[in-house]
Amino acid sequence: MDSNVIGYDNQDIIEQLQEGVTFFPFIFYLEKIKIFMFGVGTSSKSEFHNAGSGYMSSFIYTYKKNRVLFVSKIKENKCIVKIYQDYQCIEMFEGHSPNEVWKALGILQKKFECYSF
């Protein structure tokens, strides 16, 4: 269906759809990795790099020679990365900081050591 048909070209409709919405998911690139961020939260903990409970993102990458989905989140004072293959969680890593989790995972730690995933 054409987005113009349902009114996405009309600024009034767009403003009405956005009313009361506090966050819009978005996509950004970290080098060649396309990251989908679908949750935010803030924290004063320096090791969380200002991200906090509610932060969630995902991306597809190769892990143990397979294309898998990485889902990272911060819940309370824990950073969590789950790895999914064929809709099943195949591994989970938990730590007290994003850097701790990526170090335990053993891949991508240089890319993510400054970021909050």
48-93: pLDDT as tens digits? 555 556 788 999 999 999 999 999 998 877 889 999 999 999 999 9
- Residue 5: its pLDDT value, please? 46
Report the alpha-carbon distance of residue 103 to residue 31 in Å, rounded: 19
The predicted-structure confidence for 17-45, as pLDDT tens digits, reads as follows 777 767 777 888 888 889 888 887 765 55
Q: Which of 103, 81, 100 is nearest to 90 (CA)?
A: 81
> CA-CA distances (angstroms) from residue 11 to 14, 17, 24, 83, 89?
5, 10, 17, 39, 41
The reply to whether 117 falls in a domain is no
The reply to whether 96 falls in a domain is yes
The reply to whether 6 falls in a domain is no
Residue-number span of the structural domain to which 106 is assigned: 23-112
The reply to whether 12 falls in a domain is no
Model pTM score: 0.69
What's the structural domain count of the chain?
1
